[in-house]
Amino acid sequence: MTENDFEKIGQDILEVIQKSKNILLHLHPSPDPDSVGSALVMAEVLKGLGKEVVIIAGDSPLPMSLSFLPNFNWIKDEGWTDLDLNDFDLLIAQDSGSLEMVSREINIKENSDLKIVVIDHHATNTLYGDINLVVEAPATTQVLFKLISLWGVEISQTIAVNMFVGLYADTGGFKYDYTQPETLAIAGQLIAKNHEALKTVRTMQMQNTPKSLDYKMLAYKNINICAGGRAAVSAISFGDLEDKKINTEDTESVSLGNDLLSVAQWQVIATLVEKKSGEIKVSLRSKNGELYNVAEIAQIFGGGGHKAAAGAKLEVSLEEALEKVIMAIENIF
């Protein structure tokens, strides 16, 4: 996207916001720090513009492992069916590459005439909004930094923290290849605004529960090595999660993908987690997305994401999912 296009779309979004009174924000299913950070940043900006704002947790429970973020209590523990979409003038859908990433429970377009503004950084974004600001950036909070700078909004101390955690998390702590010089420049400005942002990311990395380690143990116990030892797929069954009484709060702080990718020989890894019986969440990671593009694999299963990090959902048995994912991975080697 050219600078001109960015400015044009950015101004269009501001105009729509100015015309709206009640604005709805949401977290995407299995919300990550970029989703939560983006929602809290946008909410603060909108409140500053005198708007009524509601943030709902959406499909997933409130991500309590991020409850230390400033203004976290603004997020209502409500799903999409708990509210009347007609009460709102505008939905700003952030960090969500498709309607399914906004909600898998309802189809927002079929259930309302709500105007939708999309602000996102996923290359596979389906442009489902009335206005779409989809920018190649490592995190939605990076897009927001540019956007609110364009609007002339000052970065507050709380905005700085919520933006920083989004940048930090989506770049794996500024390690992933798609981290841009601009990402670090923005991170520097955020730290200059509020040095506490560093403490916040440390806090973020210490949110395991004792059962988080049981969860990791299950992942490590159920590894299938494939592609001649260059890839690995871990599969965790619903039964095992039930037996160990592992809940969302135990899993949301754990990045199995990063743990498995720490094995030097494995170029690609996948984790299959049977969240409910017959419903498999597939996460894929690649050490080198140019060489082994896992977004292509995710797309086979109706998912999406980035070349080095992608995901999908399968509604089959765990055994069948495992077989299919292994086959798809072996095909790209």
Residues at the site binding Mn ion, with contacts judged by CB under 5 A: 34, 95, 140, 170
Nearest residue (CB) to Mn ion, 101 versus 246: 101
Nearest residue (CB) to Mn ion, 178 versus 266: 178
Q: What is the smallest separation between the CB atom of 139 and Mn ion, expressed in angstroms?
A: 5
Nearest residue (CB) to Mn ion, 170 versus 240: 170
Phi and psi at residue 216, in whole multiples of 5°? -60, -40
Q: What is the smallest separation between the CB atom of 34 and Mn ion, expressed in angstroms?
A: 3
Nearest residue (CB) to Mn ion, 125 versus 237: 125
Q: What is the smallest separation between the CB atom of 300 and Mn ion, expressed in angstroms?
A: 22
C-alpha to C-alpha distance for 83 and 66, rounded to whole angstroms? 24
Which spans in 171-317 are helix H? 181-193, 196-204, 210-221, 238-243, 248-251, 256-261, 294-300
Coil/strand/helix, residue 236: strand
C-alpha to C-alpha distance for 106 and 307, rounded to whole angstroms? 28
Q: What is the smallest separation between the CB atom of 223 and Mn ion, expressed in angstroms?
A: 27
Q: CA nearest 304: which of 288, 284, 321?
A: 284
Q: What is the smallest separation between the CB atom of 314 and Mn ion, expressed in angstroms?
A: 22
Q: What is the smallest separation between the CB atom of 211 and Mn ion, expressed in angstroms?
A: 26
C-alpha to C-alpha distance for 25 and 48, rounded to whole angstroms? 15
Nearest residue (CB) to Mn ion, 34 versus 100: 34
Q: CA nearest 215: which of 285, 275, 291?
A: 275
C-alpha to C-alpha distance for 248 and 228, rounded to whole angstroms? 33
* Range list of β-strands (E), 245-308: 268-276, 279-286, 304-305
Nearest residue (CB) to Mn ion, 227 versus 282: 282
Q: What is the smallest separation between the CB atom of 121 and Mn ion, expressed in angstroms?
A: 6
Residue nearest to Mn ion (CB): 34
C-alpha to C-alpha distance for 223 and 303, rounded to whole angstroms? 22
Q: Which residue bears the tokens 């309802």?
A: 106
Nearest residue (CB) to Mn ion, 94 versus 253: 94
